[in-house]
Amino acid sequence: MGDVLRILHVVVNMNRGGAETFIMNVYRNIDRSKIQFDFLTCREGVFDEEITRLGGRIHRIPYVTDVGHFKYMKQLDLFFQNHNIYPIVHAHMDKMSGLVLRAAKKAEIPIRIAHSHNTKSEGNVIARLYKRFVGQYIYANATEYVACSTLAAKWLFKRRVTKILKNGIVPESFSYNQQIREQTRASLNIYDDTFVVGHVGRFAPQKNHVFILNIFSEFLKHKSNAILLLVGEGPLRQELEQKAKQLKMSEKVIFTGVRSDVPELLQSMDILFFPSIHEGLPVTLIEAQGAGLPCIISDTISNEVDLGLNLIGFFSLENLEDWIERLIILSEEKIIRTTNLETFVQQGYSIKETASDLKEYYLSLTGDVNENTNHIHAYV
């Protein structure tokens, strides 16, 4: 038994998605002499090695899409029966968290947190119906509700009292630097006078990459020396590469794949283009503002993402002409890139503030439980 409180975080995998990147940012900055993170995942992830280095443990079970509903529930039950010494389970799987928290409650884990990172379920009709069904388990089994934004809270938790935990970043890592911009562009074979439209995100329907390609195709008619920089990976990559080919602009689109140097890549861009169909509160948009990068985004995204730095423009996905016009206007303006570090601290988007907030939150929860049970002392 030690003084470190170990929290079990539950995700599908620890790859470079928005929620996973946020969890890792917190993990790197939280006081690990007081709080440690362990993970229950279903697949290998790019952060696994770093998690182990930081002192975390990774448990793994098959995911529901691999073994089916009943075997997945059985795997969850079995896992928590054998690991019921965790005082806190923090689930980050949106509606799928219902099954996780159900199993945790059966194992008598006292604190069960549901964390909403989105505002809509992904997948086809059958997948969404299934998630709607299992999502009902959240309300009977969660003891706490956390979300990245008020919209994400309303979507998953309705009117339940929710803690808003902001998606903080390390602002200093994204501060604009002309030398880094030039070096990154050179590594990508992008010339100094090239206008770079960028996007960072998984190649999935939610991110609306086909929309990006269609808009960029029209934009090229006005700005021939432009490049589209798509950072990420996902199931739609091959389809999107084919779409770029059909639009006869393959040489104008760079697919970088998964990258660990997102701060540098944001420096290389001139505009961040973000027409998501739905989002919770994208970490990428906070990071982009840290880099002083103008952002053109869909009005489906919560206005909580706008830090008041005059860098965010909201547009309807119904009006394609508005997106093209805004791109043209910004491409003709001389934009001076700056970073206001104080803004991130003042508005709670510094990761140090977020990590400290979460630490105090965990400790306050365990204090409440400690009055009623000795279970909380079973640190692992």
Distance CA 290, CA 220 (A): 27
What are 14-43's pLDDT values in tens digits? 998 889 999 999 999 999 999 999 999 999
Q: What is the pLDDT of residue 303?
A: 92
* pLDDT score, position 273: 97
Q: Are residues 241 and 145 in the same domain?
A: no
Per the structure, the count of domains in the chain is 2
Per-residue pLDDT, 342: 86
Q: Is the domain of 106 the same as that of 206?
A: no
Same domain, 211 and 144: no
- DSSP state at residue 211: H
CA angle, 237 then 148 then 13, to 5°: 45
C-beta of residue 36 within 8 angstroms of C-beta of residue 56 = yes
Q: Are residues 175 and 163 part of one domain?
A: no
CB 138, CB 105: distance < 8 Å = no
Residues 265 and 278 grouped into a single domain: yes
Paired strand residues for 58: 39
Contact of 109 with 89, CB cutoff 8 Å: yes
Q: What is the Cα–Cα distance from 15 to 23, expressed in whole angstroms?
A: 11
Whether 121 and 215 map to the same domain: the answer is no
Do 284 and 144 lie in a common domain?
no
CATH of the domain at 201: 3.40.50.2000
Angle (CA) 243 246 252, round 5°: 75
Question: What's the pTM value of the predicted model, to 2 decimals?
Answer: 0.85
Question: Percentage helix, strand, coil, to 5, in the chain?
Answer: 45, 15, 35
- Structural element, H or E, at residue 56: none
Are 199 and 322 part of one and the same domain? yes
Q: Give the model's pLDDT for residue 2.
A: 54
Tell me, yes or no, whether 354 and 308 share the same domain. Answer: no
* One domain, residues 53 and 185: no
Question: Which tens digit of pLDDT belongs to each residue from 99-154?
Answer: 999 999 999 999 999 999 999 888 889 999 999 999 999 999 999 999 999 999 99
Number of Cβ within a 10 Å radius of residue 245:
12
CA distance 380 to 85: 7
Low-confidence ranges of the chain (pLDDT < 50): 1, 369-380
Q: How many CB atoms lie within 10 A of CB 77?
A: 16
Residues 77 and 193 in one domain: no
- 223 and 296 housed in the same domain: yes
3-state DSSP assignment of residue 147: strand
For 162, half-sphere exposure in the C-beta direction (CA atoms, 13 angstrom radius) is: 24
Q: What is the DSSP letter of 192?
A: T
Tokens 């009709």 locate to 125
- Which pLDDT does position 374 carry in this prediction? 38
Helix crossing, 125-135 with 97-106: angle to 10°?
30
Beta strands in the chain (DSSP E): 5-10, 35-41, 58-60, 88-91, 111-116, 144-147, 163-164, 195-200, 226-231, 253-257, 271-274, 295-298, 312-315
Task: Residue 164: give the domain boundaries.
Answer: 5-168+350-377
Query: What is the spatial distance between Cα 104 and Cα 125, in angstroms, rounded to a whole number?
Result: 28
On the CB side of 99, CA atoms within 13 Å amount to 24
